[in-house]
Structure 1
Amino acid sequence: MKDATQLPYFHKRFYRRTPRSVPMARDFGRKTLERWGLTDRADDVLLCVSELATNALLHGVPVGRGFLLHMWLLDDLVVRLEMHDSGDGRPVASLTAPAEDARGRGLLLVDALADTWGVGERDPGKVVWCEFACAPAEGQA
């Protein structure tokens, strides 16, 4: 990891409204975490990237638009993900999805894996964010 006096780090990437964008966002997230030397919570972070990107595609990105993934590494080794989209509505973690439904549990996963998460305003649209406290990789403390 680079000198901590240079924190926070910030990377962003724009994705079009296509199913290929989800694995592309996950790959971007993996490479960003590796660049920062943070791998202890990579599985949690990358699953949340997938869930938030999927939600943006299914519920937040109007036809002809896309979504923006921001990744921040904050001073206290907290990784912050932000998924920006221009769609209407405000996502809510659903506790009532029927057992036979294949959908409806993404934000429950985010809630279980992230240390904190929420939804912010954007014009147009919204920002769904989550944060993960991380430890430096072995030998990079």
Structure 2
Amino acid sequence: MRALVLLLPLLLSACVVGVRPEPTVRPAPAPQTSSFVLNARLGLPPYPGSVALKHEQKGGSSEAEFETRDTLDQVYAFFHNWLVNRGWVRTRLEYKGPATKVEAVYQRGAERFKLELDQQGRSGRYKLEIDF
């Protein structure tokens, strides 16, 4: 009996399963809905993943500066696609300088504006102007 009493703690310790708390499952962060827009009249959002440096609104027009590692073509394509998906039609497109500046004119009904996207040299810094 005494041997059984000595073996009992040993048997019980062998039966205890190490219990780890389950890892805390955190939901994926929801996309942040920011009220920040590059142009309030259009509701134009910032370029994804960019860092805003400057932003000014003047009536319906605006000027913004931001940084991104993406190319001029990638940045312009984002804004162009966003506008087209909202019914804007590009009526003019012109590359200026050594392909570091894009000027485009968009129209939807009687509304019309000029978009200028200027890459500052070959840096990742951009200036976007919207003029109604």
**Greater helix share, 1 or 2?**
1
The question of a shared fold, defined as TM-score above 0.5 by the shorter chain, is answered with no
TM-score when normalising by structure 1: 0.29
TM-score when normalising by structure 2: 0.30
**CA radius of gyration, larger in:** 2
